[in-house]
Amino acid sequence: MNFERTLIITGGAGFIGSHVVRLFVNKYPSYKIINLDKLTYAGNLANLRDVEDRPNYRFVRMDICDFEGVLELMREERVDGIIHLAAESHVDRSIKDPFTFAQTNVMGTLSLLQAAKCYWESLPEKYEGKRFYHISTDEVYGALEMDGTLFTEQTKYQPHSPYSASKAGSDHFVRAFHDTYGMPTVVTNCSNNYGPYQFPEKLIPLFINNIRHRKPLPVYGRGENVRDWLYVEDHARAIDTIFHRGQVAETYNIGGFNEWKNIDIVKLLIKVTDRLLGRPEGADLDLITYVTDRAGHDLRYAIDSRKLQKELGWEPSLQFEEGIEKTVRWYLDNQAWLDNVTSGDYQKYYEQMYSNR
């Protein structure tokens, strides 16, 4: 079958990546979508059961640090676009193991960039019709005071954790490949995502699951830290828009104009989850447990996404309360998925399956 375009989406078995893969597979049947994922703890092919048999979808288990493997795949499939989401992303893990974050986020991105450069520069048309789209985070900008200021595309980088430092490094490499080699790149920095299929070490799915089981809800400090939240399907739509219409070498911030203190999110989760479970309102407020704050915990993140809205016409589709309602319902309705992930059984299955190949 001849396809109009062939794209690699890295990290496509993860939280955000699976939503992007699903959107592209369904919306663009004339595109071949290659989901390239190492299947670390955060990757789960169960996230994509509904598209795994589509004729325009292919899964490849591969480490993005495997330069030779990526280059061979690009040549084999004649890849003309990369949407790069694969990353280690949990701040607490980065504090305990910064080497893994540097390896995956910096060296993995460099491996992809160099493979794309080698393949695309070997073609008669070189970079014409090609695109390398790198998804990053608002955490590279550092922290904001409680003064209403927002991160813009011109905000100076000031990463404070090993995670954000590794993402900042990868951002710089992407821009350097444009400036040095002329590679058509684009970078986006997004706020916190939430929604279905998120690995339950992150705040919202973790707390939904803990409320369900009446387990403690550990809140750092006094819960005063502020984050800007975006429903994951809105992020996927933004990625679609920017991949197709964003300007080469530009940076776009993606956010929801939706700031919440952590403690207020926890209370909202308790309210919604208790109601959906048929419990009295506030029944699980006593599960809130304040714990010692995380090292280098940034006070506030908030994204100014007006450039994206003005230039490309994208805007969030959901109010936060509506998105939380949908999210809580999804996790409660998909308890088998949640139990499988929290047990780690899916990892044992993949290791057995791929060790036999």
Count CB-CB contacts under 10 A for residue 149: 12
Say which amino acid occupies 244. H
The residues assigned a catalytic role are 138-139, 163
Pick from 157, 219, 188: which is nearest to 312 by CA? Answer: 188
Instruction: Report the pLDDT value the prediction gives residue 296, as an integer from 0 to 100.
Output: 84
Instruction: Report the pLDDT value the prediction gives residue 1, as an integer from 0 to 100.
Output: 82
Pick from 192, 175, 236: which is nearest to 89 by CA? Answer: 192
281: pLDDT strictly greater than 60:
yes
Instruction: Report the pLDDT value the prediction gives residue 275, as an integer from 0 to 100.
Output: 98
Q: What one-character-per-residue DSSP string does 110-139 give?
A: HHHHHHHHHHHHTSTTTTTT-EEEEEEEGG
Please state the rounded mean pLDDT for residues 227-239: 98
Tokens for 234, please give them. Answer: 């809105």
Tokens for 320, please give them. Answer: 């936060």
Output phi, psi for 92, to 5 deg: -60, -40
Give pLDDT tens digits for 151-186.
999 999 999 999 999 999 999 999 999 999 999 999
Which ranges in the chain belong to alpha helices (H)? 15-27, 67-77, 91-96, 98-101, 108-121, 162-181, 203-213, 232-245, 262-276, 306-312, 320-333, 335-343, 345-355
Burial of 281 (0-12, 13-18, 19+ CB in 10 A): exposed
Please state the rounded mean pLDDT for residues 311-336: 96
226: pLDDT strictly greater than 80:
yes
Instruction: Report the pLDDT value the prediction gives residue 295, as an integer from 0 to 100.
Output: 87
| Bridge partner list, 36 | 10, 60
Q: What is the mean pLDDT of the chain?
A: 95
Report which DSSP code applies to 287. Answer: G
Question: CA 316, CA 126: separation in Å to the nearest integer?
Answer: 36
Please state the rounded mean pLDDT for residues 93-120: 98
| Bridge partner list, 133 | 83, 186
Rounded alpha-carbon distances, angstroms, from residue 204 to 56, 118, 179, 257, 262: 32, 41, 39, 18, 10
Helix 335-343 to helix 345-355 angle (10° resolution) is 70
Rounded alpha-carbon distances, angstroms, from residue 147 to 45, 156, 186, 224: 42, 17, 30, 14
Please state the rounded mean pLDDT for residues 108-129: 98
